[in-house]
Amino acid sequence: MPGVDGGLAVVIARVDLSLVTAWLVLVVVGIVMVSSATASQPEGSGYYLARHGVYVLGSLVVLASLACVPLRVWEVMHVPCLVLAVVLCALVLVPGVSQEINGSRRWVELGLIRFQPAEAAKFLVVVYLAGCVARAGDALSTHWQLLLKPVALVVVVLVLILYQPDFGSVVLLALLTGGILFIGGARLRDFLLLAVLGGVAMAAVAVVEPYRVERLMTFTDPWATPYGTGYQLTQALIAFGSGGFFGLGIGEGVQKLLYLPFPHNDFIYAVIAEELGMVGAVAVLALLVALTVRICRIGRDAVAERRVFAGMVAYGAALLLGMQTVFNVGVNTGVLPTKGLTLPFVSFGGNSLLVCSGLVALALRVNYERRRPVVKPRREPAPELAAESTATSDGNYSASASASTFDSSDNSSPRTRSRADALA
């Protein structure tokens, strides 16, 4: 069947294989490290490996499915996406629906599945903000009022997540919102004003709760309370020191043996550093950076081709994955205060893996549609232009008329394109 083979070859040629390869390698690293990090857990590594295997299969389904959804569908549905994010985050606060774990109500029990709405909200907010930027177009750089609606609606989601509470996700989504709007063309003064207001709000929220203040104080000197609030960070730092340059070997780590809390979730990067050493830790980080940079370049190319929504979706995915990587590695190394954010594609946790894979799927779709040849519809010239064409000898009016017609759909501002080029 040469026709089928030829069609398959065309599809494969449009898929970004480097992005798929990076995703696959990170997922495999996650499987190996989750198996190693859970060796001392009461349920045994087999229990966690089986669950993680189900999550990996689910992420593969999500990646393949969402990569087949046309971007036009997401663009049309960007407002319902935010509505869904609000509903899901509010659902956690309904008594009897959510389950309280470690003092937080972040999960909804769905039989054998534990669903975390805050993770899904990250994906949905990316789609919503990309749609807002695409709809605003050049006006975003001249009318500050256009920033108010998306910011106000995202704040609703942030407040709902804060009540769970999940301060780490709130900070992540706040930075994501500012980043997308800035790349989308918001004026620098408007962006700085929003940044100052957001920073003051985050600082106020941080100091309201005593345990957040305690975490900030511990972050400055964890060794002052090595068996108290600084326990997690000190144990992670010991893991980094024990690993040395080449590590102790996979499965040979000591800190995961009930010393380091949550070695398979928030602090899996410390386990990687102990067992694979600085070489392995840097290699995993480099792979995450390469994946993020590749998605940024996909976004840059889409914006350059005047595909604003596609470009903003890719940039949103890159920002989210990049910032979450920075937060997790920063927490593990003591550069940032402790926050419950996973290492993308590597940490144990189905919700994070599914959402991160969904973001990669969006980037794959952007790149796929970029490489797809665009067939421009043939337009009949207006009667007066037809008459002019008959009167002229060269008849070249149609090219200029057609170009102006298609250029009118461009909503990307020069400011958006310049910032996209600078970021990539």
**How do the domains of the chain map onto residue ranges?**
11-372
DSSP 8-class letter at 228: T
Rounded CA gap, 229 and 221, in Å? 10
- pLDDT tens-digit readout, 378-411: 555 444 444 444 444 444 433 333 333 333 345 5
DSSP 8-class letter at 410: -
Backbone angles phi, psi at 9, to 5 degrees: -65, -40
Strand, helix or coil for residue 57: helix
Which residues of 27-143 form beta strands (DSSP E)?
A: 98-101, 104-110, 113-115
Rounded CA gap, 206 and 216, in Å? 9
Side-chain-facing half-sphere of 180: CA atoms under 13 Å? 34
Strand, helix or coil for residue 99: strand
DSSP states of 342-363: PPTTTSS-HHHHHHHHHHHHHH
DSSP 8-class letter at 141: G
Query: What residue ranges of the chain have pLDDT lower than 70?
Result: 1-11, 13, 102-103, 112, 373-424
Question: In the prediction, which pLDDT does 40 show?
Answer: 83
Residues constituting the chain: 424
Burial 313-348 (b: 16+ CB within 10 A, else e): bbbbbbbbbbbbbbbbbbbbbbebbbbbbbbbbbbb
Residue linked to tokens 């190394």:
333
Edge-to-edge strand order for the sheet containing 113-115?
Answer: 98-101, 104-110, 113-115
β 113-115/98-101 pair status:
unpaired
Rounded CA gap, 155 and 417, in Å? 27
Question: In the prediction, which pLDDT does 414 show?
Answer: 59
